[in-house]
Amino acid sequence: MPTLPQNLLKFLQKLLNDAIRTSLTLFKITIPISILTKLLTEFGLIDQLGRALGPIMELVGLPGSMGLVWATAMVTHLYGGMIVFASLAPDANLTVAQVTILTTMMLVAHALPIELRIAQKAGTRFRVMATLRLVGAFSLGWLLFQFYRITDTLQTANQSFWSPPQQDPSWIVWLVGEVRNLLSIFLIILCLLFIMRILEKIGIISLMTKLLRPILSLLGISKEAAPLTIIGMTLGISYGGGLIIQEAQTGNLTKQDVFYSMALMGLCHSVFEDTMLMMVLGGHLSGILWARLVFALLCTALLVRLARRIPTATFNRYLVRP
C-alpha cells in the first residue's frame, strides 16, 4: 500500500510533467512568433500597419496617429503599445473618453500573432478568431465613441500616470527579456496546475461551477471547460489557453467547449493585470472593464446561438480544426 510520501511524490511528479508539457506546447508557439515580431519591428512593418489604421481610428473618434499605438499592441503586446502611446499622446491632446476607447480596443485585440496561434492550437480556426477579435475591438470602440459623444461624458483632458523607461533596442536585451518571460510562464503554469489540483480535491472547483452554472449554461460552456475559461479571463490567454490545449488533447473537452471558451477569452481576458495597465494610461473603468466584460458575454451568447443553428458538419469545417 503506497505511503503518504510516495503519494505526494507521485502527485508532484505528475504535476511537474503536466507543467512541462503545457509550457513546451506554448513555447513552440511563442518563441518563433516572438522572433518574427521582432523582425517585423526592426524592418518598420508595424509603422506601415499603423498608418493604414489611421482612417479606422478616425471612425471611432481618435486621431489617425493612434493607429500606430493599436498596431504596435496588436503585433507585439500591450507594453509595446503603451510605449508608443507615451511618445505620441502629449501632442495628441486626448480626452479621457478617447483614451478609454483606444485602451479598450487594445485590450480586445493585442498580441494577436501569439494569442491567435494559441487559440488555433487549442482547436479553433485562426481566421475566425482573428475576425472576432478585430471586429469586436472596432465595434466596441465605436459603441463607446457613440456613448461618450451622446452623453458628453469623460470629455476632460486625459492625464497619463506612466512614463516609460529608456528602451534598449539591442537583440541581447530583447533575448534576455524573452527568456525571463518564458521562465515566468512556466512558473505560473506550474502554480496554476497545483492550485487547480488542490481546488479539485477540496471541492472548490465543483462549488464554483455550480454557482456559475446559469451563466455558463447561457453561454454554452460546459462545467469541464468552466475553470479553464475563468483562468483565461482572469489571468490571460497564454495561461488559460495553454491549459485548454492540454485538456483538448486529452479529449476532455468537446469542440464546442473549446470554441466557446476561446471566443469568450479572446474578447475578455486578463481582467486584472491588463485592466490596471490601461488605467495607468488614463483609461476609465466604464470602458476597459465593464463595457468589455458585458460586450464579451453578449457576443459569446450571440455566437453560441448562431453556432447552434448551423449544421455540425459546417461547424466542424469552418469554425474548428480537426
Q: φ, ψ for residue 283 (rounded to 5)?
A: -65, 140
Tell me the per-residue pLDDT of 95-127, one tens digit each, with 9 for 90 and over.
999 999 999 999 999 999 999 999 998 899 999
What distance in Å separates the CA atoms of residue 129 and residue 148, rounded to the nearest whole number?
A: 28
pLDDT at 270 over 90: no
Tell me the per-residue pLDDT of 136-193, one tens digit each, with 9 for 90 and over.
999 999 999 999 999 999 999 998 877 666 666 678 888 888 888 788 878 877 887 8
Say whether 95 sits in a helix, a strand or coil.
strand
pLDDT of residue 167: 62
Query: How high does pLDDT run on average in the chain?
Result: 87
pLDDT of residue 201: 81
List 124's β-bridge partners, or say none: 320
pTM score, whole prediction: 0.86
As a whole-number percent, the residues of the chain with pLDDT over 70 amount to 95
Note the Cα 86 to chain centre separation in Å: 22
